[in-house]
Structure 1
Amino acid sequence: MILFVSDLHLQPARPVLTEAFLRFLDEYALGAKQLYLLGDIFEYWLGDDAMSEPFNQQILSALRRVSDAGVQLFWIAGNRDFLVGEQFAAAAGMTLLPETWVIDAYGQRIVLLHGDAQCTKDVKYMAFRAQARNPAWQQQLLSLPLEQRKQIAAGMREQSKAGHAEKSYEIMDVTPEAIADVFKETGTSIMIHGHTHRPALHEVDGTRRYVLPDWEPESSPPRGGWISIGEDGAIVRHALDGTML
């Protein structure tokens, strides 16, 4: 199978989440043909020089175990981990992809993306996104000591939480126009993305858009899951325990 997952927001403070992800890798990803990580796998990534930290090493080693088993790993950056670079990718045995990527999965052309670039009504976020994806801005940030970057990231997360409290779901969701543009530009009719934390299947004008869930295994009931595509071409949404939805 081909597997797709996003929006785990892995971090040391959430051990239940970490265990859920490691279990997913062992029970499902190790038997897959390909695994696509579609952004916000980490709560934040401040540069590949953070790889030596114990938690990051744990996740890196788990991903490497999957790639060493012959599974092809692919990564599309999210809005929290866009600073993942070639050093991390090489260590994990995975391939970094552009923000928008089209695959041929068992005869179906499917466009993959994180989804944040299509939230065009969120004007403040789009302005930040333009800044954060600027290579000069990234270089300047990465030139700072790691501890200083952590402080900056903590401040940005607090600002993000405060900002979300003031925004409606409609503003933070993708816009139909932006989604239509992606379908038109890529010549596809099937899309898989994350970011919005609003898992669903949307069928509009002959297109299908699958939205991946965020992971909250600590909640009651637990939330999370992934999408698979089998050799028969069937696209299936899975709950956190693997149950088909």
Structure 2
Amino acid sequence: MQIPEGKKIYFSSDNHLGAPTQELSKPRERKFLAWLDQVKEDAAAIFLLGDLFDFWFEYKTVVPKNQVRVLGKLAEIVDSGIPIYFFVGNHDLWMFGYFEEELGIPVYHAPQTFEFNNKKFLIGHGDGLGPGDKGYKRMKKVFTNPFFQWCFRWVHPDMGVRIARHLSVKNKLISGEEDAQFLGEENEWLAQYAKRKLEKEHFDYFVFGHRHLPMQIKVGETSTYINLGDWISQYRYGVFDGKDFQLIRF
């Protein structure tokens, strides 16, 4: 994509809407809606890098209640001609077509390559990448297993969603405490992942979420790893104007 004059690419991740409860999540939801209204004025495209919801599971004829205003706003933006790209996170990885069919938003389950103004990006949520985190990687294999998903689908939605939301909120990833601690450039596993990717292919920017900590780390002479932070306490987003990438607090 060649970004039109005066337009920008926007990035957001780890909103965790619905946590710790729907009621307490409302102010953050309103803030995110205000952000969408702001960026749609000059957006060439919007990238949502996962964990938009603290829990999401699509039954064949049921989607989780709440966040209807967010879904409506996303549909409005897409209908206006602004593309939105969604990457599933570890809290909303059970997406099976609703965003594509109802909202016109492509959904990706793995990092993807994009090119804007001759700058090459690798974009994804970031979970399960790089060295370590073996416990989560094993857990993800279970959650993405078709048989496990089939079994969960037979649990009544009222019960299934209640159980899943309870476990999701208890997950350490929503606490923000452990994930908001900088480990040092040599220990940041997504930065290590980026460096390994550069051994085989050049990228100007690696853009991820998941860590709940905004950061920009040089991983090569002309390559930068960027983590977007979260919308629990950080309220950070990324913007690329065709020349430079910035992390901004909303």
Fold conserved between structures, TM > 0.5: yes
Partner of 1:196: 211
Shift of residue 94, structure 1, vs aligned partner: 0.7
Q: Structure 1 residue aligned with 2:189, among 157, 165, 174?
A: 174
Shift of residue 167, structure 1, vs aligned partner: 6.6
Q: Structure 2 residue aligned with 1:46, among 33, 57, 64?
A: 57
Where do residues 3-22 of structure 1 align in structure 2 (5 Å cutoff)? 3-11=10-18, 12-13=22-23, 14-22=25-33
Structure 1 CA distance for aligned equivalents of residues 201 and 74 of structure 2: 29
Asked if the contact 1:118/1:179 (under 8 Å) is kept, the reply is no
Q: Structure 2 residue aligned with 1:157, among 147, 168, 181?
A: 168
Q: Report percent identity of matched pairs.
A: 20
Q: Against the structure 1 CA distance between its residues 120 and 129, is the aligned structure 2 distance closer, same or farther, given a 3 Å change threshold?
A: farther
Alignment deviations for residues 166-208 of structure 1 (CA, whole Å, 9 cap, x no partner)? 97855x9535443333344554242000000110100123220
Q: Against the structure 1 CA distance between its residues 186 and 81, is the aligned structure 2 distance closer, same or farther, given a 3 Å change threshold?
A: farther
Q: Against the structure 1 CA distance between its residues 213 and 104, is the aligned structure 2 distance closer, same or farther, given a 3 Å change threshold?
A: same
Q: Counterpart of 1:70 in 2: which secondary structure?
A: coil
Asked if the contact 1:174/1:196 (under 8 Å) is kept, the reply is no
Q: Structure 2 residue aligned with 1:211, among 219, 227, 232?
A: 227
Deviates more, 1:188-197 or 1:88-97: 88-97
Asked if the contact 2:99/2:106 (under 8 Å) is kept, the reply is no
Partner of 1:76: 87
Higher percent of residues as helix? 1
What code does the residue aligned with 1:211 have?
N
Structure 2 unmatched ranges of 5 or more = 1-7
What code does the residue aligned with 1:144 have?
V
Runs of 4+ in 1 over 4 A off after TM superposition: 162-170
Deviates more, 1:111-120 or 1:206-215: 111-120
Shift of residue 102, structure 1, vs aligned partner: 0.4
Structure 2 CA distance for aligned equivalents of residues 30 and 162 of structure 1: 32
Shift of residue 88, structure 1, vs aligned partner: 2.8
Shift of residue 215, structure 1, vs aligned partner: 0.8
What code does the residue aligned with 2:63 have?
M
Q: Against the structure 1 CA distance between its residues 158 and 65, is the aligned structure 2 distance closer, same or farther, given a 3 Å change threshold?
A: closer
